[in-house]
């Protein structure tokens, strides 16, 4: 009975779309579905606002993130310093904006590294199968044997704390998840008729992968990339909080939270630790909301 119902819906979609507009591309359909998801739109809007604040930080604040003012340290919020100042008298709101730059950059770059490695290896494994697949997947098993934070702490400690090392570590350690997803999808796509047709036409392997297989895995890649950025931002903040990530004086939300190590700050100066913590929380939850929304929009079957 439920099956019958589903069939009906499948029949409905193309027709219903065709009536409203002539032809709707798949991305347009996805976008329309996403628009309907209020939580995802809130997430998207938040991310855009935060990104704009970070990008245009220099124009939004009269302060410099590194301007020390020893005459006004640890000041409470006032008209000049909307979120007060830190222990060196730097404007905290300004540092929060600039910190967003670092956190978002780390999230984007490390996820790109992850995607690059994960999609390449996963694609190769899924396409060539057999021994290549076996080798790559065992490699993935090996990488996923390490609890992430302990090994990340170890590697960052060995390489020395810097923003580049943080991005590299998150990217290098996080690829197996993406690789498994891409491999799984390509394995199942490879058996489908259109790939047989492609083989019959004598299309090269590279073209087959780039033109026919990868575009079909885009949906899963986009979803896991969105959620991956969120995870990367969390990891960066944790590492920076521990003093193993981005080193001061460069502000990131993680290392700004270090101020809470000071008991007096934790007790009496909420503006020095609540805002960066909230900033991480809000960006990460927004990305997760968007990721969930994208998943539902890309695969409505999963939603029900």
Partner 1 sequence: MGKYIIRRLIQQIPILIGVSILLFTIFHFAPGNPLASLFSDPNMTPEQIQQLQEAYGFDRPAYEQYFDWLTNMLRGNFGRSIQLRQPVSVLIQERMWTTFQLAFGSLFLSLLIAIPIGVISATKQYSIFDYAGTIFALMGISIPSFFFALLMIRFFGIHLKWLPISGAQSPGIIYAFPYNIIDRARHMILPLAVLGLTGAGSLMRYTRSSMLEVIRQDYIRTARAKGLKEKVVIYKHALRNALIPVITLLGFSLPTLFSGAVIIEIMFVWPGMGRMQFNSVIQRDYPLLLGINMFLALLTLTGNLLADISYAFVDPRIRYD
Partner 2 sequence: MKNLLEVKNLRTHFYTEDGIIPAVDGVDFSLKPGQTLGIVGESGCGKSITSMSVMRLIPNPPGKIVDGQITFDDRNLLTLSEAEMRKIRGNDIAMIFQEPMTSLNPVFTIGSQIMEAIMLHQKLDKKAAREKCIEMLNLVGIPRAAEIVDDYPHQFSGGMRQRVMIAMALSCNPKLLIADEPTTALDVTIQAQILELMKELKEKLNTAIMLITHDLGVVAEMADYIIVMYAGRVVEEANVYDLFEAPKHPYTVGLLNSKPNLQRTADRLEVIPGSVPNPLAIPPGCAFNPRCPHVMDICREEMPPLESIGGERKVRCWLHTKKEGAK
The partner in contact with residue 142, picked from partner 2, partner 1, none with C-beta cut-offs of 5 to 8 angstroms by kind, is partner 1
Q: Using the minimum distance from each CB to partner 2, give the nearer residue, 16 or 49.
A: 16
Shortest Å distance, C-beta 74 to partner 2? 54
Interface pattern 16-55 for partner 2 (x via CB under 8 A):
x---------------------------------------
Q: Does 5 bind partner 2 (CB under 8 A)?
A: yes
The partner in contact with residue 116, picked from partner 2, partner 1, none with C-beta cut-offs of 5 to 8 angstroms by kind, is none
Which of 115, 302, 108, 134 has the alpha carbon at shortest distance from 217? 115
Helix (H/G/I), strand (E/B), else coil: 71: coil
The partner in contact with residue 281, picked from partner 2, partner 1, none with C-beta cut-offs of 5 to 8 angstroms by kind, is partner 1
Which of 236, 227, 243, 216 has the alpha carbon at shortest distance from 299? 216
For tokens 């090269």, what's the residue? 204
Q: Which long-range contacts (CB under 8 A, 24 or more apart) does 239-244 make?
A: 239/152, 239/153, 239/156, 239/161, 239/166, 240/166, 242/153, 243/161, 244/153, 244/156, 244/157, 244/161
- State the helix-helix crossing angle for 92-128 and 214-241, rounded to 10 degrees: 140
Distance CA 77, CA 145 (A): 46
Which of 115, 142, 83 has the alpha carbon at shortest distance from 214? 115
Distance CA 247, CA 206 (A): 42
Cβ-Cβ contacts under 8 Å for 243 (sequence gap 6 or more)? 161, 255, 258
Site residues (vs partner 1, CB under 8 A): 1-2, 138-139, 141-151, 153-155, 157-160, 230, 234, 237-238, 241-242, 244, 254, 257, 260, 263, 266-267, 273, 277, 280-281, 284-285, 288-289, 292, 302, 304
Interface pattern 152-181 for partner 2 (x via CB under 8 A):
------------------------------
The partner in contact with residue 205, picked from partner 2, partner 1, none with C-beta cut-offs of 5 to 8 angstroms by kind, is none
Distance CA 248, CA 252 (A): 8
The partner in contact with residue 5, picked from partner 2, partner 1, none with C-beta cut-offs of 5 to 8 angstroms by kind, is partner 2
Distance CA 266, CA 258 (A): 10
Q: Does 301 bind partner 2 (CB under 8 A)?
A: no
Which of 106, 108, 101, 109 has the alpha carbon at shortest distance from 61? 101
Shortest Å distance, C-beta 17 to partner 2? 10
Q: Using the minimum distance from each CB to partner 2, give the nearer residue, 22 or 145.
A: 22
Shortest Å distance, C-beta 101 to partner 1? 18
Which window, 4-12, 48-56, 58-66, 119-127, contacts partner 2 (CB under 8 A)? 4-12
Shortest Å distance, C-beta 3 to partner 2? 8
The partner in contact with residue 12, picked from partner 2, partner 1, none with C-beta cut-offs of 5 to 8 angstroms by kind, is partner 2
Q: Which position among 11, 64, 188, 199 is part of the footprint of partner 2 (CB under 8 A)?
A: 11
């Amino acid at each position: 009975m439920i099956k019958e119902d589903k069939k009906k819906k499948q029949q409905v979609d193309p027709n219903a779309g065709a009536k409203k507009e002539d032809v709707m591309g798949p991305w347009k359909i996805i976008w329309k579905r996403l628009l309907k998801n209020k939580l995802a739109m809130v997430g998207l809007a938040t991310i855009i606002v935060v990104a704009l604040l970070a990008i245009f930080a220099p124009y939004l604040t009269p302060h410099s993130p590194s301007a020390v003012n020893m005459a006004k340290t640890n000041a409470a919020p006032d008209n000049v310093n909307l979120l007060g100042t830190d222990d060196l008298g730097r404007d905290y709101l300004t540092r929060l904006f600039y910190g967003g730059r670092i956190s978002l950059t780390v999230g984007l770059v490390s996820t790109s590294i992850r995607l690059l490695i994960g999609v390449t290896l996963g694609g190769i494994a899924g396409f060539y199968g057999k021994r290549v697949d076996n080798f790559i997947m065992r490699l993935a098993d090996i990488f996923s044997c390490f609890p992430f934070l302990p090994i990340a702490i170890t590697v960052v400690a060995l390489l020395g704390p810097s923003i580049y090392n943080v991005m590299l570590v998150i990217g290098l350690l996080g690829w197996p998840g993406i690789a498994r997803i891409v491999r799984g999808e390509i394995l199942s796509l490879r058996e489908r008729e259109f790939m047989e047709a492609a083989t019959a036409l004598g299309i090269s392997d590279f073209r087959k992968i780039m033109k026919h297989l990868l575009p079909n895995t885009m949906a899963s890649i986009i979803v896991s990339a969105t959620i991956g950025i969120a995870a990367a931002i969390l990891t960066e903040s944790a590492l920076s909080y521990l003093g193993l990530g981005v080193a001061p004086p460069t502000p990131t939300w993680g290392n700004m939270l270090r101020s809470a190590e000071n008991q007096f700050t934790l007790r009496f100066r909420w503006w020095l630790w609540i805002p960066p913590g909230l900033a991480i929380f809000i960006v990460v939850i927004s990305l997760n909301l968007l990721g969930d929304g994208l998943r539902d929009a890309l695969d409505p079957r999963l939603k029900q």
